[in-house]
Amino acid sequence: MPSTSKKQHNFMAAVANNPKFAKKAGVSSAVGKEFLTADKGKTFKEGGTMKKPNPFMEMIAKKKEAAAKKPAMKKGGMAKKTVKKMTKGGKTC
Classify 57 as helix, strand or coil.
Answer: helix
Nearby residues of 18 by Cβ (< 8 Å), 6 or more positions away: none
pLDDT of residue 3: 86
pLDDT of residue 40: 86
Rounded Cα gap, residues 74 and 69, in angstroms: 15
Q: What is the pLDDT of residues 26-43, one digit of tens each?
A: 999 999 999 989 988 887
Are 39 and 2 contacting, i.e. CB atoms less than 8 angstroms apart?
Answer: yes
Are 6 and 44 contacting, i.e. CB atoms less than 8 angstroms apart?
Answer: yes
pLDDT of residue 15: 94
Q: What is the pTM of this model?
A: 0.48
Q: What is the mean pLDDT of the chain?
A: 80
Nearby residues of 68 by Cβ (< 8 Å), 6 or more positions away: none
Q: What is the pLDDT of residues 42-83, one digit of tens each?
A: 877 766 666 677 788 888 888 888 888 776 666 655 556 666
Are 51 and 32 contacting, i.e. CB atoms less than 8 angstroms apart?
Answer: no
Pick from 19, 41, 39, 46: nearest CA to 30: 19
